[in-house]
Structure 1
Amino acid sequence: MTTEQVWKALAQIPDPEIPVVNVVEMGIVRGVEIEGNKATITMTPTFSGCPALHLIREQLERTARALGFDSVEVRTVLSPPWSTDWITPEAKERLRRYGIAPPKPSSAQDFLIELEPAPTPCPRCGSLNTSVKNTFGPTLCKAIYVCNNCQEPFEGFKTV
């Protein structure tokens, strides 16, 4: 079993909260090491208090064991903290098509200089005429917006 094969298998695990993307392209899986019949998987949750953390760990371990590894270790690493910059461009596009505005690059956010943040585009019609309705969305990593053009509410990924 090669490292590449393990990565491909882990990429089949959907994100528990956003099933149109997987845990690899979300940047949650950070590393895979193989030593003999042992696989070590390193992961960083999107937030240290992520409610899906236990489920993701279980799925990573179950997937590696299904590949034939006798020993599987899933390590959680919190430093450096997960960043929305780790989400692949393909996953960001799938988020948009799913109706969730993808995050902006974290380098585009300068909280000391930026007096008014750039608008979040509507994932449905593309309009920049949007408003934040609630900075606390259904999960810690999202906020609730409304498009003032098409009148549709939508979730937007916070840039972390």
Structure 2
Amino acid sequence: MDTIKAIYASLEKVMDPEIPVLNVLEMGMITDVQQDEKGIHIKMIPTFSACPAISVIRQSISDTVSKDLHLPVEVSVDAAIQWNSNRLTETAKEKLRGFGIAAPPVHHGEIEADMLLHVTCPHCGSDNTFMRSPFGATLCRAMHFCRQCGMMFEQFKPLT
């Protein structure tokens, strides 16, 4: 297996600390992977610019890849690219639903109110839901309630 493939295989083990069923690749957080004579260089982007987990994720990437490949690893935040919710893979969206979080819809650069107000319940699949609060456990999530099954759930907000 070549080194780049091995790096990506290692990155599959690095889970998001706030949504531990998703890895950084499924989240679309990795923007570049390089190797040279000095070691491995990985660029990442946080899902939210004020994300408190940035340093934890950077350290986890560095520790995991370094341990797996026995090479020095440098992880930097890629300032040239801004994360948006369209970067989530389809696998990530399925895992979110299985974790009880509604996945964000695909957008085309504009977030419309319907994307936040009309959300399908990840527990029962009903569209009979309403937003309880635009703020959830983190800034990138909103709280919803399902009238069908009576469950509260979070929606990962669509972000541009």
TM-score normalised by L of structure 1: 0.91
1:48 and 1:78 in contact (8 A); partners too: no
Aligned counterpart, 1:117? 114
The Cα shift of 1:84 comes to: 0.8
For 1:58 and 1:4, locate their aligned partners in 2 and report how far apart those are by CA, in whole Å.
20
Tell me, what secondary structure is at the counterpart of 1:63?
helix
Structure 2: 5+ residue stretches without partners: none
* Cα-to-partner distance string for 1:41-67 (whole Å, 9 max, x where unaligned): 000001111111110010111122211
Tell me, what secondary structure is at the counterpart of 2:114?
coil
For 1:89 and 1:102, locate their aligned partners in 2 and report how far apart those are by CA, in whole Å.
10
* Cα-to-partner distance string for 1:1-38 (whole Å, 9 max, x where unaligned): 51011011011111100001111110112221011351
Quick check: 75-84 or 42-51, which moved more? 75-84
1:130 and 1:147 in contact (8 A); partners too: yes
Tell me, what secondary structure is at the counterpart of 1:73?
strand
Amino acid at match of 2:84: S
* Cα-to-partner distance string for 1:62-109 (whole Å, 9 max, x where unaligned): 12221111x3211101332101111110110010011000010022x7
Aligned counterpart, 2:133? 134
Aligned counterpart, 1:4? 5
Aligned counterpart, 1:99? 100
1:103 and 1:158 in contact (8 A); partners too: yes
For 1:32 and 1:15, locate their aligned partners in 2 and report how far apart those are by CA, in whole Å.
18
Identity among equivalent positions (%) equals 39
* Cα-to-partner distance string for 1:109-141 (whole Å, 9 max, x where unaligned): 745xx5x51511000111111100000110111
For 1:73 and 1:4, locate their aligned partners in 2 and report how far apart those are by CA, in whole Å.
17
Aligned counterpart, 1:38? 39
For 2:73 and 2:46, locate their aligned partners in 1 and report how far apart those are by CA, in whole Å.
18
Aligned counterpart, 1:54? 55
For 1:84 and 1:93, locate their aligned partners in 2 and report how far apart those are by CA, in whole Å.
14
For 2:70 and 2:60, locate their aligned partners in 1 and report how far apart those are by CA, in whole Å.
15
Task: Quote the RMSD (CA, aligned, Å).
Answer: 1.5
Structure 1: 5+ residue stretches without partners: none
Quick check: 84-93 or 27-36, which moved more? 27-36
Which stretches of structure 1, 4 residues or longer, exceed 6 Å deviation after superposition? none
Amino acid at match of 1:117: D
Q: Does 1:16 align with 2:13?
A: no
For 1:3 and 1:35, locate their aligned partners in 2 and report how far apart those are by CA, in whole Å.
11
